[in-house]
Amino acid sequence: MKCKFLVFNKMGEISEKITQSDVFEADLFPDYKHYKRYDNYIILYNVEENNKNLTVFNFTDDTYTSDVALIRIENDKIKNLTYKMYINQISKIKIEPNDYYSDSDTEIEDITPFTYTKLLSF
């Protein structure tokens, strides 16, 4: 059974691709030399010098230097992961409010950083 997965390029664009199998084997993804397994995901990637992928995943702090493929797994089987499914999932993440509240009257002291004196000329 063929399943969909997502590819995140270095510029942050997302595209959908289709696997040839529903069981993960690294050999089925010859475009990628490395992979990392997480709880419900596998990330396929390459190592490229002087590059950085802009994509940030909510389940890891790892960063990548090439295009990355994100595959959803469940019980060691590849499951469909479409763009719409991914967007729905990340939109459920609760963002913690920022505890910083600006009080401009007390934080900014508007003083002149320099004082100028007039020199006398003869």
* Domain spans in the chain, listed from the N-terminal domain onward: 4-91
Per-residue pLDDT tens digits for 102-116: 555 555 555 666 665
Give the position of tokens 């399943």: 3
CB 52 within 8 A of CB 65: yes
61 dihedral zone (left: phi>0; alpha: psi -120 to 50; beta) = alpha
Instruction: Return the pLDDT at 12.
Output: 82
Per-residue pLDDT tens digits for 2-35: 899 999 998 889 999 999 888 898 898 999 999 9
Nearest to 71 by CA among 63, 108, 59: 59
More confident residue, 118 or 51: 51
Instruction: Return the pLDDT at 70.
Output: 95
Residue 20 CB: number of other CB atoms within 10 A? 10
How far CA 61 is from CA of 56, 58, 69, 75, 120, in Å, comes to 8, 8, 16, 24, 63
More confident residue, 107 or 40: 40
Answer whether 0.95 is exceeded by the pTM.
no
Distance from C-alpha of 16 to C-alpha of 44, rounded to nearest angstrom: 14
Instruction: Report residue 110 CA to chain centroid gap.
Output: 39
